[in-house]
Amino acid sequence: MDQNLQKVIDKRIEKTVENLKKNQMEAYYVQTCAEAVELVDRLCQPGETVAVGGSMTLFEAGIIDHINSGKYHHLNRYDQGADVSRMMRDAFSADTYFTSTNALTEEGELYNVDGNGNRVAAMLFGPRQVIVVAGYNKIVEDMDAAVRRVEKVAAPANVARLGLASPCAQTGECVHCRSKGRICCDYVRMGMQRTPGRVKVIIVGQQLGY
């Protein structure tokens, strides 16, 4: 990457990290996915019960492979024959919950939109700690930009990935549908946290996920 562009990106990340900390979330910046995995290894204890929210970022960053290594008790929703509905509920008692975020504002807020609501629910309450892994491409200026990012990037891409019959798969952007394939049902904005450090955000200096 061009050095001048990298400096601009680094400044945005620095501002975001500072504001996440002001909102009582732990925030980290690592340059590579390998460093993100190493950090996760330090933040989690062997034998912990861990669970995940649906996320392409976790796969791309190598986090799923790491928590499948046998070091942790993974409530693995991706196992063949897994009772996914039950695991979504069991995730609330996990020691650590892994997810990404649809958007991360420079103001230090997380914005997520869910279909079932299980992911945002676990981010809000239940697991002892929540580790959010996000590529720098998820950073946006403010909440208005976060909403636009979901409607024009995250939602259409995820609908296409899941093979759902929602209009945004065809239009490439949200049309505020009422289709059976709609995945935008629950909207959650996370700002100042009451429990300091429960939510930990790892920003990776690579483009990851949708």
- Say yes or no to pLDDT of 165 above 90: no
pTM above 0.75, yes or no: yes
pLDDT digits (tens, 9 = 90+) for 47-76: 999 999 999 999 999 999 999 999 999 999
Confidence of residue 176 (pLDDT cuts 50, 70, 90): very high
The per-residue pLDDT for 149 is 97
* CB count in 10 Å sphere of residue 149: 21
- Say yes or no to pLDDT of 191 above 90: yes
Q: What domains appear along the chain, each with residue ranges and CATH number?
A: 3-204 (3.40.50.10420)
- Return d(Cα 146, Cα 143) in angstroms, integer: 5
The rounded radius of gyration (Å) of the Cα atoms in the chain is: 17
> Which one-letter DSSP state was computed for residue 154?
I
- Say yes or no to pLDDT of 101 above 90: yes
Average pLDDT over the chain, rounded to an integer:
95
